[in-house]
Amino acid sequence: MVSIREEIRNVAIIAHVDHGKTTLLDGMLKQSGIFRQNEKVEERVMDSNELERERGITILSKNTAIKYKGVKINIVDTPGHADFGGEVERVLKMADGVLLLVDAYEGPMPQTRFVLSKALELNLKPVVVINKIDRPDARPDEVIDEVLDLFIELGADDEQIEFPVVYASAREGIAKLKLEDTSSDLRPLFDTILKEIPAPKGELNGPLQLIVTTLDYDDYIGRIAIGKVIRGHIKAGETAAICKRDGTVQNVRISSLYQYEGLKRVQVNEALLGDIVAVSGISDIEIGETIADIENPEPLDFVHIEEPTISMTFGVNTSPFAGEDGKYITSRHIRDRLMKELETNVALKVEETETTEAFKVSGRGELHLSILIETMRREGYELQVSKPTVIMKEINGVKNEPIELLTIDVPEDFMGIVMEKLGSRKAELMDMHTLKPGTLRLKFKIPTRGLIGYRSEFLTDTKGNGIMTSILYGYEPYKGEIPIRLKGSLVAFESGITTTYGLYNAESRGRLFVGPGTKVYEGMVVGENARNEDIDVNVCKKKHVTNMRSATSDEALRLSTVSELSLEEALEFIENDELVEVTPKNVRIRKKILNSQQRYKSAKNR
């Protein structure tokens, strides 16, 4: 018999990056009264991870719950970056409906298309929230038409196309059903959720089925499996069965259950159909497995996670400075850490290589992998990583490569340089229209290879005024060679400490990455050559002291600003014969072969 639990709603907030999901959730939490009147609440309270706070992006999906008019609304905040699409795909399994947030100026962007297509595939009820209506350049009516076009393009059915619309300003904490309405809070949004998002329904008294969509870890209680009860009920202290991914069934005891209230996990004795719960006491449970009734263990289908498109080699740091900063430096340390990451990062793939010192790590994009590297270095790991390479596929005997759908918003003045650079990277222009006077939106299809190393170049070319976002479009036959980096490297000629005198001489050759007083070693890349060849430079050279004096000899040598590269910039910069050395305190670029003579011999043989 089918039961409907009217006292619960499960909703996921989905959107393109930076359209205001986490800010809206802040407002919903504050207005639902889960914080005390005098409690100090941080901005973007759901972005609890240190990297999320620094970068202003959501990386991991999170659960929370609020009460409104006697109904418990479970909310899942999801990432907006395409690189963390693996997070979005699986957590949508917990929701019965979605709030699709769209910026009132930018309109639907590549990631809006991606998250909406996943929600429609799972037949979730959408509520469209047009956010940032307080922007001076907001164009809400046009954006609604664009959203409707996107629904039609993605093959939404008649019921899904009749989506309700709420206008909001997450920053101001207001929502309204019509633009001309006056509103001082988010109540219209809460009311729409209760009215439009379906309540969970299913067999309340049937045999238990709970799908695990997220894993968490607590130092006191160990691994925690988070998921939604799809059928029946689950009790603490009872025995249940786990339907493993490999088809086997394992009996376990449920030690404790938790539900979400605001930002806290609260212990409960029992959870029913439609509840989102955290289960502890199962040490080896994995994402995608089903906790089922012991008498009737039926597994649920798990969502298909799209395959990785980019891979890199993670290896033991072999530079002369290895072990100076890091706590974890051996291949065993790196292997254990990568295997631990696989437990929760479902879009990641780790493979052994011919050597025990290195591992092939594949992910959804440069950002996906660079966040993992950044997290590892903050935890005390030292490693060296190779240039990102795309993963090719053979389809019907033809070599295919991943293609991205690239959207660029750029002032008209910079259109020429953008078109020229993307043309050489094998991009095809698909659409171009004016967003507002003086600003264009360009849409391209471009090989993923063509985007590697382009982001920082794009920011320089557009003087920081351009916005670019991309998402996997599909696979197409290989497009041919793409000349990516047209400049060579300035390579340290010897080990030592850099001097102003040595750097001053090297600077005439190009752009420097290190300043005076920096420890360097032979084979370390200290700058970018203005020409397209590598050149050895002596940046540790000291000025010879003579007893001759001239009028200008003691004038201070002045260096231009040094371009210290971030981890992402270093990954974008390197060539195939280079590596990025990553330690808790430093990011360095080095040649794979450090000795200059051996390097020249190797190049000659090639």
Residue 366's SS3 state is helix
Looking at this protein, which amino acid is placed at residue 397? G
- List CB contacts of 419: < 8 A, sequence separation 6 or more: 429, 442
- Is 62 annotated among the ligand-binding residues? no
Residue 451, phi-psi category: left (phi > 0), alpha (psi -120 to 50), beta (remainder): alpha
- Is 131 annotated among the ligand-binding residues? yes
Distance, in Å, from the CA atom of 75 to the CA atom of 197, rounded to the nearest integer, reads 12
- Is 375 annotated among the ligand-binding residues? no
- Is 22 annotated among the ligand-binding residues? yes
- Is 542 annotated among the ligand-binding residues? no
SS (H, E, C) 177-220: CCCCCCCCCCHHHHHHHHHHCCCCEEECCCCCEEEEEEEEEECC
Distance, in Å, from the CA atom of 475 to the CA atom of 31, rounded to the nearest integer, reads 45
- Is 202 annotated among the ligand-binding residues? no
Furthest CA-CA distance within the chain: 101
Distance, in Å, from the CA atom of 133 to the CA atom of 175, rounded to the nearest integer, reads 10
- Is 20 annotated among the ligand-binding residues? yes
Q: What burial class does residue 95 get, using C-beta atoms within 10 Å of its C-beta: 0-12 exposed, 13-18 middle, 19+ buried?
A: buried
Tokens 């050489």 — which residue?
A: 424
Compute the Cα dihedral for 524, 526, 531, 532 and give only its sign: positive
What are the phi and psi torsion angles at 200 (to 5°)?
Answer: -60, 135
Distance of CA 363 to the CA centre of its chain: 10
Q: What letter would DSSP give residue 381?
A: B
H or E element that contains 10:
strand 8-15
CB of 148 within 8 A of CB of 161? yes
- Is 132 annotated among the ligand-binding residues? yes
The angle formed by the CA atoms of residues 41, 44 and 46, to the nearest 5 degrees, is 90
295-334 burial by CB neighbour count: b if 16+ within 10 A, else e?
eebebbebbebeebbbbbbbbbbebebbeebbebbebebb
Distance, in Å, from the CA atom of 426 to the CA atom of 94, rounded to the nearest integer, reads 40
- Is 561 annotated among the ligand-binding residues? no
CB-facing half-sphere around the CA of 224: CA atoms within 13 A: 16
- Is 134 annotated among the ligand-binding residues? yes
Distance, in Å, from the CA atom of 141 to the CA atom of 563, rounded to the nearest integer, reads 44
Binding-site annotation, residues for GTP = 18-23, 131-134
Q: Which residues are annotated as a binding site?
A: 18-23, 131-134
